[in-house]
Amino acid sequence: MKAWEIFLLGLNFFTFFLMFYDKRAAQKSRARIPEKVLLGLAVLGGSAGTWLGMKIWRHKTKHTVFCFGVPLIIFLQVALLIYWRLKINGF
């Protein structure tokens, strides 16, 4: 595995468990993780972990910015990856 692949894998695991932590913090009325931090990590590459955390932990599922924003981020990241791969291969 390349370094950037390891980074993205680790970031997605981190964001996945951060969603769990924030869900538990909300249930126990403890300090929360700001939404802009969660969305920022998704933009940096942790979008799959964020989305999976939303689905499994049922967290942030009623927030419009998460319900539409995270899938949009994933779409844009995949489109950027496809564009980048095509550009490298000379298309």
pLDDT-derived band of residue 91, with 50, 70 and 90 as boundaries? confident
Structure confidence by residue, pLDDT tens digits, 18-68: 999 999 999 999 999 999 999 999 999 999 999 999 999 999 999 999 999
For residue 64, what are the domain limits? 3-88
How far is it, in rounded angstroms, from Cα 17 to Cα 91?
38
Q: How many domains does the chain have?
A: 1
What's the confidence (pLDDT) of residue 38? 98
Token pair of 84, please? 């980048």
How far is it, in rounded angstroms, from Cα 32 to Cα 47?
19
User: For residue 45, what are the CA distances in angstroms to 4, 42, 89?
Assistant: 10, 5, 23
Structure confidence by residue, pLDDT tens digits, 54-78: 999 999 999 999 999 999 999 999 9
